[in-house]
Structure 1
Amino acid sequence: MRNRIREFRARYNLTQEQLAKKVGVCRETVVYLEKSAYNPSLQLAHDLAKALGTTIEDLFQFDD
C-alpha cells in the first residue's frame, strides 16, 4: 500500500510533528507511515484523511 501523506502534508505546510499532534500519535508514527513501513488502523487512516482534507481513498492507494 502506498500513501500520499507527505504530499498532502506539504500542501498544508504541516510538519510531521504538527500532523502527529492533530491525529494524536507520535511523530515517529508519521515517519513510518510516510515510508510505508507501517499500515494504519482504519481509525488512524480516517483521522489522517480528515486532518489533511481528503478521503482515505485519495490518501492511501492499494497495490494490486
Structure 2
Amino acid sequence: MSGSVNMDMFGTPLQKLFSLMQLTLVIAGLMGLVLLLWLLFRALMPKKGQTKRGRKGK
C-alpha cells in the first residue's frame, strides 16, 4: 500500500505538498492538545497541598 502511494506522492508535487501540510497539521494539533492539557492541569492544580479534587492525595 505505502509503496504505490509514495510513488504517487513523489510523482505529483501538489499531492506531496498536501500530505506534508496534513502531517504538519497533525503534529501541530497533537502538540497543541498536549499544551492545552498541561495548561489545564496546571490551572486546576495551582497548589499541590490544597486542591478540592486531589486524586493523588499528597
TM, length-normalised to structure 2? 0.29
Task: Please identify the structure whose Cα radius of gyration is greater.
Answer: 2
Larger strand share, 1 or 2 = 1
TM, length-normalised to structure 1? 0.27
